[in-house]
Structure 1
């Protein structure tokens, strides 16, 4: 959430920056300033009334003590009127504050200066492409056919149990899933991230804290009886560990990693591009989350990108890195790099990770602050990334590593899964 002071001081530059997202922010920012003016005016009036009421209470007390009950009773009538007035002003203040908050929730983060304008993923910038795309020949199969051939993933059984988008992993497929999770966690902890296990359901406050609510409410599974949400990513519970927290400057950097299943409704998703593991309602992901000093957050982002890059190199998968344009940038992100693995059999790129810097946007919602050495308070910066999302990594392994004799497991994963081939 953008800071009110920033909007007051930098309104025109924010309007200009939001155009990169194809958003005309003028009306929203004008509404913010209008509601902020009303809120501040109501607060001033309320403070004035409360001050007069407090002064009257003192005078009434003195009058009673000095035997001037008649004068005291006269003042009590004014005091009662002030109490009613303060109640009305308090209700007005809360109404203006709530209306202001709802408008602020509608404004996305301001893109970083390096983000280019664009309307869709077609306008994203390719900043790096590495790895050799294997020549598989005409007999190469897409991963959903390989899964059936080697009996490692059963999509139809998942439909029977829950519906489309809930695959059942079997045998070596299940072991490979477990191997990927352990491998990603080990690589992350070796890089200095502390492993953590978090709840898979969160409350509404957590959803608002990281920006999934109200922006992505329709994409989240809602447990209505308990008013809880199934997490779309570990980013939500891990980052919310720091909601309403005051840190010290010496606490940075803070680095966490965690594995969770992820749940996304993906309403309206259909067609060939979502077949197999390409898009699921439930999938596994290992996440990395950082809380950083504002002066060092972009250095941290570069480090996260380099870390994910090294993991994909070890897996031997052809990949590329994209810097997202304004039109494809997530609601809460200031800058995002997407990693995509090439699917040889499908002849298309599959996203396997997004690494983002949110700057102060989430921290402002979370009230996540730190004290500097002089004791001044500042908002921290939050970052997160997938390291990595399993379904499309698995799809990339199955398709790119297929041979006439079976699927050759990347060397880095062999110690984790205990076999070299799926045959």
Structure 2
């Protein structure tokens, strides 16, 4: 959400920053025109009210002078002005609603360092601040090598009898899965490991938020109004609640309609929750396996911080997500997303892409974004700085990481020729010491 006064002061910069974004619905001039209509309605109401106040005094004077004709004429004009005020208030409210709705569907402005581009083909591999490919390669797990053609995760899972899409389809339809036995435990182990890592080593506070949220919370983190079709809703009282598409929604909204002290920042939160997405725009994509599900588990990281610290916090959050993959021993790369591939509410986004040998490609396993004050304005989330000035906080969010996709990565990277799957060392304590799932166990 933007401050219309800033847009009016910087129309060229606003349009230039959004030039690389997809489907931008309004230009600066169109938004300014909506604001001008709103302001014109306000002026009409204020002028009518001021005139009515003046006439009220004149009516009293006319009656005191027993000039009934003049008093009646003034009363008639007051009655007309009442209609003008009522009509003007309706026009003002309509103009304000139009402006608010327009601002709500305009994407965030990308930072200057974000590459301009049309889509994911314009993303750029990122090696860290002042990093190079050589230094990054030393710090990341190597790609595994196989003497045979590696299988995709669903081939291994179905052969083990521990990953069942047919039963899930009978229960719920497409894009669901039933995990059983050791794979179910492995999925749980991955989530618990990541949650413990972020709490014990990365400085996040664990939270257990509600899985159903109000429209206001979804608006605050910009799922509404633009992405309503991607959500699952349930009736509740006279309204509705939505199943969370990500724990970002409740965690970030912890600070809605609040004024924090600077000493409370940064606030870092993490949660392991199920996530629910209709995947409305992904028909025909990733129909095999667990890559794109209606229901999946994810460990989410959220940070609330000052504007001055948000850039460093973004790099920390990226490092925290990378640490998960490093400890799991999963080869990955980091991509800096272009303007054409970046999410609606982000100023800048890094994607972590895990190597999947079965697919012979990299696939996204985490997105880490800084949103600036874009969400904070929608939530009215502010802080009082050391000088006593009240300002909007900056918000960040990142997957730390998607549990189902981490399971896929483990299954494909640790698969063995006999169809078994080795359990990464860091997960064995969560598996009661089990080292292998399948034929060799």
Corresponding residue of 1:374: 387
Deviations 1:192-226 (A, max 9, x none): 21111112122222222111112212211233564
Corresponding residue of 2:16: 16
In the TM superposition, residue 228 of structure 1 has moved relative to its aligned partner by: 2.2
In the TM superposition, residue 227 of structure 1 has moved relative to its aligned partner by: 2.4
Out of 395, 413, 419, the position equivalent to 2:427 is 413
C-alpha RMSD of the superposition: 2.4
Task: Quote the Cα distance in structure 1 between the aligned partners of 2:148 and 2:57.
Answer: 92
Please, which moves more after superposition, 365-374 or 76-85? 76-85
Corresponding residue of 1:123: 122
Scaled by the length of structure 1, what TM-score is found?
0.92
> How many residues matched?
421
Task: Quote the Cα distance in structure 2 between the aligned partners of 1:370 and 1:57.
Answer: 45
Task: Quote the Cα distance in structure 2 between the aligned partners of 1:100 and 1:327.
Answer: 25
SS at structure 1 position matched to 2:175: coil
Corresponding residue of 2:230: 219
5+ residue gaps, structure 2:
128-136
5+ residue gaps, structure 1:
none
Say if 2:183 is the partner of 1:173.
yes
Corresponding residue of 1:49: 48
Task: Quote the Cα distance in structure 2 between the aligned partners of 1:271 and 1:39.
Answer: 44
Corresponding residue of 2:131: none
In the TM superposition, residue 301 of structure 1 has moved relative to its aligned partner by: 0.3
In the TM superposition, residue 270 of structure 1 has moved relative to its aligned partner by: 4.7
Task: Quote the Cα distance in structure 1 between the aligned partners of 2:223 and 2:48.
Answer: 39
Out of 301, 315, 336, the position equivalent to 2:349 is 336
Corresponding residue of 2:35: 36
Q: For residues 18-417 of structure 1, what are the structure 2 equivalents within 5 Å?
A: 18-21=18-21, 28-54=27-53, 76-128=75-127, 130-190=140-200, 191-223=202-234, 226-271=239-284, 273-404=286-417, 406-417=420-431
In the TM superposition, residue 352 of structure 1 has moved relative to its aligned partner by: 0.8
Contact 1:15 1:24 (C-alpha < 8 Å) held by counterparts: no
Deviations 1:79-130 (A, max 9, x none): 4333322111110100101111122123111111111111111111111463
Query: Measured at CA, do residues 62 and 263 of structure 1 come closer, stay the same or move farther in structure 2, by a change above 3 Å?
Result: farther
Scaled by the length of structure 2, what TM-score is found?
0.89
Query: Measured at CA, do residues 74 and 114 of structure 1 come closer, stay the same or move farther in structure 2, by a change above 3 Å?
Result: same
